[in-house]
Structures are given as C-alpha cells and as structure tokens.
Chains A and B, each alone.
Chain A
C-alpha cells in the first residue's frame, strides 16, 4: 500500500523539488527577483484556481478576493497587533478561509452564475476594504505601509515553500480518492451523490483549500511588497491572469498551471521588456490564437496523442 502511494505521488514530489531548485538557484543568474517572485505567485494562484476549477468545474472570476483578503489580513496583523511575520502570514489563509466559509452558499450556484456571484463578492471585499470610512482600520484608499517587516529575501523563500506546498496539494487532488471523487462530482453530481460521495462536504473542502492557497499567496505578497494600495491586491487582472495561465497550461492536471503560468508570465515580461509598444497587441493575439487552437491547454498536445499527462 505504501509502495502504491509512493508510485502515485512521486511525480508530484519530483515536480515540487524541481520547482524549489529552479527558483532557489534562479536569483544567482538573474537578479530581477521581483519577476521571479511574481512568477511564483502566479504559479500558486493558477494552481489554487486549478484546485477548484480543474477538479470541481467552478470557475471563480473573483478569485482575487481571497488573495486580497490574505494580503490585508497579514497587513492588519502587523499594523494593528504588531504580530510577528509568521503569525501575519498565517493569518492570510485563515482569513480567506473564513471569507470562503461565509461565501460557501455561492456553491449552490453553477456555471456563469457562480462565476459572476464570486466576482461580485470580490468587488464587495474590495469596496469595503478601500472605503474611506475604513481608513482607521484598513488604511482605506490610502493603502498600507509595512516597511517594518520588509524582507524580500525571506518572503521570496516563503513563496518557494508555498509553490512546493501547492504542487503537492495539486498532486494529492490529482491522484487521491478525494480528487477522483471531486472529478466524478464535476462530471455528474447526482450520480456521484448516489455513489455515496459526500458532494457538499468535498466541494466545500476544495473551495476552502483553494481559498487558503490564495490567502497564503496574498499574505506573502504583502510581505514582499510592503507598500500597497487596495487596487494592487484586488485588481481583477490578477484573477484574469490566474485563469488564463491555468487554462493555457491545462486544468485538472498538476503540470498544466505550472507550465501555463511559467511560460505565459515569462512571455508577458519578455514582450513588456523588449517591445513595450506592441505589448498588448502581441499578447492579445497570442492568447486568442492559443484559445482558438488549443482550448484544452498546451498539455492537450500530449493527451491528443494518447500520452498520459501528470
């Protein structure tokens, strides 16, 4: 049984170890650690979104809401409670899970209705936090300043740990009975329920896990950035990127979001740095082309040929 588990999970561990190695060594050859940090952030967010969308079929347009909640939870812990960094970072996933619990009833919706409701929820969070009347608590539109804890190297290392953790969770979702149950549920929830799969509980667990991943990413992002405005952590561009990156790589897999986020974010920056004047044109055409010709993601090039993708 132990051997069986190992054979199922070693690819996940291998990928996680490779990611840790790559992002640990990369700063020695490439000094723009902000770019590497953001790449890891988007790998985590694409993977976190994959945990929900890839395994349950729920597409959260407002995924950034959890990210922003995590960032602000960490910021408030530092500003109001003068908490140590580790406690502030842990507050991120806890707060986003609390929000996810409150928003749990949204899971009764499906398809576009869920996506739109989730988007609206993230906007509510944004407007509450950035409201001028909340200035005394959240900093309101003035944003937050956490220069007391600013530590780019330590926060970079923490993001590596989160990349590893998220990859292992995705591998667990991919190969465990839990993940298989989720996929059965996504295909046909009625049949899944009749097969004694606890649909509501499992869906909620996937939802909470996905929220926790985004919340933790937001908390570490806040630690790394140290000065930010509400727009920066609740920007819909973050949700859009996470969705596009996950879809580009291929959802429901472990490698898909990693490849999608890694490739597209690198490309995004390469175009932005080398040909900024054509940035949106090139990037837009590329995404439209990829969605038209590879709607199942880049990994579908392999699955179409019968190759099993991890």
Chain B
C-alpha cells in the first residue's frame, strides 16, 4: 500500500512536472518571436513629408527598443523584439484601404498604427472596427472619428484639430485685433480649425472681414492675397497643410503685400524645412503653433524628454533636426510599449483599456496624455509663437500666448520690409 502510495505520489509528481514543463513549453511557443506593428506611410503625394516624418519617429522608437532586446510584454512575461510592417499608400485613400486590410488580415499585426492625418486615417476607422482591431491614431485629429460605440480607436498623440485655434483666437482678441482675414484648405483638418477660430472670434463680436476656402492642393495665393488685402485686415490667418503654407508664404513675399500679423500652421512643426522652402524672410514676424520639440517638456513621466530626444535623434544619424511629427511617432511608440508592459493579455480591448489607465497621469515629450471617453486625445494644447528675427539672421521662436508659457512679447504690428 505504501509502495503503491509512493508510486502514486511519484506518478502524480511526474505528471505535475510534465504538466509544468508542458505549460512552460506552451507558453514559450505561444509567445511570438516579434511583436508586429503595422503601419502605412505616404512615399509620395500631398501627405508624403508629414507621413514619412511620423513613420521615422516610430522607426526611431522601434530601433531604440530593439537595441535593448525588445519591448517587455507582460502577457508573455518576456522581452520581445518589435518589427514594423509598413506599406506605402502614396497618399491615396483607396490604396490605404487595401493596405490596412492587408496588415490586419494577411500580416496579422499585433498593433495597427494609422498613417498621418485625418484623410489617410479615415478609411482605417471602420475597417479596424469591423475586424476588432485597435486602431492607434497618431495625427488623425478629426473629431468625427471618435464615438462611444467604437472602442477600437484611440488617439495617442495630437489633439483634435478643432481645439488647436483656441489659443490663437484668444491671442487675437487680447491683441485687440478686430479685422481678421481667414484663408483655409477645403479639408477636415483646416476647415475644423477655421470653424473653431470663427466661433471663438464671434464670441468676442468679431466677424472675419475675409473668409475663403481653397482646394487642399492650392499652390497660388496671389489673387486671394490681393482680395484679402483689399479688406484691410489686421491679421491674415492661413490654415493649410505644409504645401499650402509654403505656397502662401511665397506668394505673400512675392506680392509685396504687408499685413500687421500673419499666421500659418506648419512653420511651428517644421521650422527648418519651412525656412528652407519659403525662406527666412517670408517667415519673419509671422506666427504659428509651436509644437514640440520647438517647445520643450523637461518633466516627462514616460520616455525621453525633449532635449534627450533631440540628442538621441542626432546621435541616430538623422541629417535634419527632429520635428513635431517625429516626436508624435516616437511618443506613440513609447505609449504602446508601456501598454504592452502593463496589459495582462494581448487582446485589443485590453490594450485600449490599459492605455485609458494612463490618461491624466502620464506625460511624454509631446505633453500631457489625456484621453476623452471616446478615445480622442485632449491633453496637449498648442500655444501661439512668433518668429522674431535676430541680429545673427536667425529666427527665434518666441511663445507669446498663453501668458503661462510665454517666453517674450509679440512684435505687433509686424515691421514692414
């Protein structure tokens, strides 16, 4: 009996050991060799520059993580290298649709990151929901994407474009500007900003003296500028994508017209590139939303702070200084890494709820991370800055609003010549 009992005990122990080994083996087997992050970029077309900048930021994060052996995934209790699976959508929504589907159904990516901007993100929203795949939105800032009935969407980086112009409107009002001319692109990103700007100005009893929408691919603003100048505005606000801003500033420079205040969006995100393409003269005394790394966040709870990022970026061999969209791509990566290291499993909704858990208590180099109930990003606010010429010929970015972030005073009206 004793012998039988000991045999039974031994058999049980052997079974338990085998089961334990089996379990460990199964766990090792189920852990993938890489964490696949699928994304798209535009190798050409109207979104190419910004899209590739976002992609570069994400790749920079992946390279950094892989150098340390990968990202720690709590679901598998081990570090796993990251692999970015990326396709070129050429700024085309129809191509993007098939490629997003490719990433979901053929590549079976673990995480799906949207391409740059609202247009190229839009087609992924219903597709991701249909396939129960969480869509990580980086720069698709259209408020229309987010709803309570879609849990498969989360915005990790830039805030809804509708809230961007609030500081600008407040600055205009504070500056005593009464006559505002607005030219904006016929797309969701620019139109929503124009709507917010007009609505905020209306609250102060200001109605734009010139209000005109242009096609997104507009390249010649000369006629529009003369038409706007005829209304004698105190501020000329142009809301467009980068190609629009370059064309607008070039047209303004060549037209010989002068406005007391000129505002464009992208010099605050791509200052070096804008200086190169439009010229420093064209940017002098103009205003923009200064975005990280132009404005610095020294205290961050996650990842590198602004200065550390700039140094690491340069050390990584990049020829140009980092821009806002680079930081957005990187910020997305570090938030995803944090989610993977915290989420108990790899289910898409678990990752989303894990990210929600970081809301309000996390800050990265693009600012405070705060999600709305619908998954929209509400944390970051972009101030207003002016590019003021210096004696050495450079342009200094001076934050002029809000007061809490101001680094100097606005030179208004802008000197002529």
Contact = CB atoms under 8 A, between A and B. Distances in A.
A306 interface: no
A225 B186 contact: no
B188 interface: yes
Given A32-B102, A272-B95, A279-B43, A231 B119 contact: yes
B213 A131 contact: yes
A142 B130 contact: no
Interface string B107-129: 00000000000010011011100
B216 interface: yes
B43 A232 contact: no
Nearest to A275: B88
A276 interface: yes
A34 B98 contact: yes
A35 B95 CA distance: 9
B106 to A, nearest CB: 6
Interface string B369-393: 0000000000000000000000000
Interface in A223-270: 225-229, 231-232, 235, 237-238, 269
> Size band of the A side of the interface?
35 or more
Contacts of B92: 235, 237
B213 A280 contact: no
Given A150-B130, A229-B188, A237-B92, A33 B43 contact: no
Contacts of B99: 272-273
Interface residues of B, number: 37
Given A227-B125, A229-B93, A32 B188 contact: no
B399 to A, nearest CB: 30
A152 interface: yes
A228 B120 CA distance: 10
A143 interface: yes
Q: Which of A150, A228, A238 neighbours the largest number of chain B CB atoms within 10 Å of its CB?
A: A228
B215 A277 contact: no
Contacts of A127: 215
Contact of A32 (B105, B122, B185): B105
B144 interface: yes
A35 B187 contact: no
Contact of A130 (B88, B97, B126, B186): B186
B139 interface: no
Nearest to A141: B186
B188 A31 contact: no
B241 to A, nearest CB: 12
A132 interface: yes
Contacts of A276: 43, 86-88
Contacts of B12: none
B44 A280 contact: yes
Given A32-B102, A150-B130, A132 B213 contact: yes
B291 to A, nearest CB: 23
Contacts of B98: 32, 34-35, 38, 269
B191 interface: yes
B100 interface: yes
Interface in A113-168: 127, 130-132, 135, 140-143, 145, 147, 150, 152
B90 interface: yes
B95 A235 contact: no
A33 B188 contact: no
Nearest to A241: B94
A38 B188 contact: no
A120 B61 CA distance: 46
B156 to A, nearest CB: 20
Given A140-B191, A276-B43, A277-B88, A229 B97 contact: no
Contacts of B105: 31-33
B97 A150 contact: no
Contact of B188 (A141, A238, A277): A141
Nearest to B100: A34
Contacts of B185: 141
A240 B239 CA distance: 30
Interface string B65-104: 0000000000000000000001110101111011111100
B102 A35 contact: yes
Nearest to A229: B119
A28 to B, nearest CB: 12
Contacts of A280: 43-44, 90
Contacts of A279: 43, 88, 90
Contact of A132 (B100, B119, B186): B186
Interface of A: 30-35, 38, 127, 130-132, 135, 140-143, 145, 147, 150, 152, 225-229, 231-232, 235, 237-238, 269, 272-273, 276-277, 279-280
The 3 A-B pairs at the shortest CB distance, nearest first, are namely A31-B105, A276-B88, A34-B101
Interface of B: 43-44, 86-88, 90, 92-95, 97-102, 105-106, 119, 122-123, 125-127, 130, 142, 144, 185-188, 190-192, 213, 215-216
9 contacts: A31-B105, A31-B106, A32-B101, A33-B101, A35-B98, A150-B130, A226-B126, A273-B87, A277-B43
